[in-house]
Homo-oligomer: A and B are copies of this chain.
């Protein structure tokens, strides 16, 4: 039975889930995964001081969080050398993207993204009635020039660009990104998703310019800071854009312990650097495992590696299914030609031991 009282827009939406969670898959297969390398989580987790801060906050959880996230915003402002009023803290980048789309995109408004880029952004655009226009990846990279050009042609309200990219792990230089920002057409806003940027080398993130209202940048504690389950992201932009979030956001939506954890995580930059080294080691190991099996791993500036399985999406899907059925949770890109790859998180040595042990079997199964 359909629910007739929904708005026409809501009635038209499918009750889809952008991603099926690993727990759902574990329930379906009747056992837990031996290695959880599919959800772009950072297995190295947060700084011990962040864990302590969250433990301490557990006994204070009777209090609502500060709806202004004042302390966290102040610390982020100091860290980045930008004013607090250019920062909005929210329930992960996913939550912030939902608010942003709601603010800028009404029914029929055009939005540009890459074919095969972040599905949750697309979900929000559809959810507010926006019309999505895509441009293809170019050599496994998002194509900033084409995105901006397409936005000018269709009069897009938003342009989505992730740097580094998910699901391919590729990246552009700060110069290339800055050049795209300079060419954002009037009336459009570039959503620069930098979820993975702390894991990239220097020279990937443009310098901050919070006077530039052509771009809003998304950052998170879910990836390099290892706190995906806490739900803390932040947007950085011009004060006018940032203030607009107060029109629609769930003001008391933040978890109090998560705020405390993020504050402590930010303060421990030495741990972040260690994580970056651990992740780099994991990426290197994944490349070696791929090579041992005659496959090529794509260069990555993130905490995951896309492995080119050497055939089409159907074949990669078979490899993925064989891995999943043997207890290795991985995912893969959604569209061709990126879907020739599987995507594997930079795990701990034992996670990657398990992957190394099972990949040959999975390839044999997929080929057979």
A residues with CB within 8 A of B: 1-10, 13-19, 21, 23-24, 27, 36, 39, 41-46, 51, 54-55, 57-68, 70, 91-92, 94-95, 98, 102-106, 109, 120, 127, 157, 187-189, 213, 222, 226-231, 240-241, 243-244, 246-248, 250-258, 261
Contact = CB atoms under 8 A, between A and B. Distances in A.
Given A246-B16, A258-B255, A6 B64 contact: no
A23 B98 contact: no
A297 to B, nearest CB: 23
Contact of A231 (B43, B226, B253): B253
A41 B23 contact: no
Contacts of A243: 15
Contacts of A255: 229-231, 255, 257-258
Contacts of A66: 21, 23-24
Nearest to A238: B3
A223 to B, nearest CB: 10
A228 B61 CA distance: 6
Contact of A104 (B7, B58, B120, B256): B7
Nearest to A128: B7
B247 A103 contact: no
A106 to B, nearest CB: 4
Contact of A91 (B5, B228, B240, B253): B253
A6 B104 contact: yes
B46 A244 contact: no
A24 B70 contact: yes
A102 B213 CA distance: 28
